[in-house]
A and B are shown apart, each in its own frame.
Chain A
Amino acid sequence: MGYSGLLEWVKFNNPMDNAYYPYDVYNLPYDAGAKLWELLGGLLGWLINLLVPGNRLSTWLISDAVVNAFAIIFLAVILFAVGFVVNLTMIWEERKVLGRMMDRRGTKIGPLGYFQCLGDGLKTFMKENVAPADKDKKIYWWALSLVIGSSVLIACMVPLSHRWFVVDYSTGLLLIFGIFALAPFFILCAGWAQNNKYSLLGGIRAATLMISYEIPMLILLASVVLMAGSFNINDIVNAQFDTMWYIVPQFIGFIVFVVCAIAESERVPFDLAEAEAELVEGWQTEYAGMKWGLIMLGDYFRGYTACALIVILYLGGWMLPGIGATAVPELVFLLKIFAVFFIFIWARASLPRVRIDQILNIGWKRLMPLSVVNLCIVLLLKMGGVF
């Protein structure tokens, strides 16, 4: 290789030819990241080579290992950025739709009120740090970081299409469910650490809520896995394209899963841990300013993940029936998520909060038997050879 002209430095190789490519199939964000680094690194290498011809640093900059390393970093940044923008859109959707349902206008700043969330974010960014003196400092900070961090992580792990993922293995769905279920534990710790009675009660309530919805949710996951025969999100979506959307045979499961998903993302009517009418701000009472803003943002990341799980498990993911994956399957998937989120907002606008003494009965005496009934239906269909 000559390495004389710029085009020999920036070649835009096929990322799957990279010796260190981490996946088995094509990944769009990785490809974008690799191309971005080839542009930046190639330009840098070319410049250094102009100054010091024949040095080894320049060729090292565009070697497979370096390109791969930066492609992975850019992949993470791209996934995070897209997740962040999608979340801002969901917050905007919620405020706009909720406003209309309450007969007011919702947000007003920017085009269609889209920039209001940014303004609110900036406002919480500049708020003073108010924290109680006799808190348990370490847990106070760590629990908060982990609640938000785990929420952001699962939201970024949601695959938007067959080419937009971070884990391509069967563990993808299990990992999302596993990390999703971690947050109530951190909320319990955070509630205790603040040394505030309201937040203690809020933390305990988060644990109560988790105890009541987690089992039906896992049983419903088992029914979907039974029908699709795989944990791999891609396989589940393809299986629904080959047969039908699982909302049709598992309608009971869909309803129960929506209820569980609303509970999992701690939204009205299941926001017992927050319950601002009874507990001030629940487990977030002593988290002021930017901490509170981040918690709110994390809530929407969780809501996004819950909607995405509903779409993946019951509404055919990024495929359209009869058409399959369109040119932009990511957009189809996001539109489905926004449609499901509309149901969440609708529930928030219409329903009163569930009482704390009702929640365990709802979970164990309503949702759980219904999910078992759903599992039995799936078993009968599977044994009857329908799926």
Chain B
Amino acid sequence: MSLVVSYIPLVVLAVLSLGFAPLAWWMSRFLRPNRPTQWKDTTYECGSVPIGEAHVQFRFQYYLFAIIFVVFDLVATFLLVWTLAFSGFTAEAKMWGLVFLGILLVGVAYALKKEEFIWI
């Protein structure tokens, strides 16, 4: 069978599983009570009156890790393709793949060593 046809069951399954949560939620409205008060409308901050908004520009402190992550995610993708085709490679092709991986690993090791005190 063609490739497109073989994915039709997956599409049906995806519709079913993505629709599961909204459907269950929608069905529960026939059973659940609805007694809103002004206190239920506030955000939860351990019982005290909420201070300020949480829709803020948040500073997360692992920016460097995030950059390395993006680079290495791509490397992992290359690695997956390389390993899949591994047994068909010549010795030279195998070596260049390893050299590529090695250079990136050295880069990551250097970055981690240099930014050892990145945290706070």
Contacts and interface: CB of A to CB of B under 8 A. Distances in A.
Interface of A: 20-24, 30, 72-73, 75-77, 79-80, 125-130, 132-134, 136, 141, 144-146, 148-150, 152-153, 156-157, 166-169, 174-175, 192, 194-200, 204, 207-208, 211-212, 214-215, 218-219, 221-223, 225-226, 229-231, 280, 285-286, 289-291, 294, 298, 357, 360, 364-365, 368, 372, 379, 382-383
Nearest to A155: B17
A195 B51 CA distance: 11
B60 A204 contact: yes
B35 A128 contact: yes
Nearest to B1: A22
Nearest to B56: A200
B107 to A, nearest CB: 13
B105 A372 contact: yes
B20 A130 contact: no
Given A126-B31, A208-B62, A229-B87, A80 B41 contact: no
Contacts of A211: 62, 65-66, 69
Contacts of A72: 8-9, 12
Given A80-B17, A128-B35, A226 B86 contact: yes
Interface string B87-120: 1000000100010000001001000100000011
Contact of A196 (B14, B34, B43, B98): B43
Given A144-B21, A225-B83, A382-B86, A76 B9 contact: yes
14 contacts: A76-B13, A125-B24, A129-B34, A132-B44, A145-B22, A148-B20, A167-B10, A195-B55, A214-B73, A215-B72, A226-B83, A229-B86, A364-B68, A382-B86
Interface in B47-67: 53-56, 58, 60, 62, 65-66
A377 to B, nearest CB: 14
Contacts of B24: 125, 290, 294
A364 B107 CA distance: 13
Specify the main secondary structure of chain A where it touches its partner.
Answer: helix
A218 B18 contact: no
A222 B76 CA distance: 8
Nearest to A154: B17
A354 to B, nearest CB: 14
Interface residues of B, number: 64
Contacts of A382: 86-87
B31 A125 contact: yes
Nearest to A175: B10
A232 to B, nearest CB: 10
Contacts of A156: 13, 17
A241 to B, nearest CB: 19
A94 B3 CA distance: 39
A102 B40 CA distance: 35
Contact of B32 (A200, A225, A290, A372): A290
B20 A280 contact: no
Given A80-B16, A144-B21, A218 B6 contact: no
Nearest to A132: B43
Contacts of A197: 45, 54
A133 B42 CA distance: 6
Contact of B10 (A134, A166, A286): A166
A364 B65 contact: yes
A158 to B, nearest CB: 12
Contact of A231 (B5, B33, B41, B84): B84
A372 B16 CA distance: 39
Given A225-B84, A289-B28, A294-B25, A75 B9 contact: yes
A198 to B, nearest CB: 8
Contacts of A230: 84
A175 B25 CA distance: 27
Contact of A128 (B20, B34, B41, B44): B34
Contacts of B25: 290-291, 294
Contact of B5 (A22, A129, A383): A22
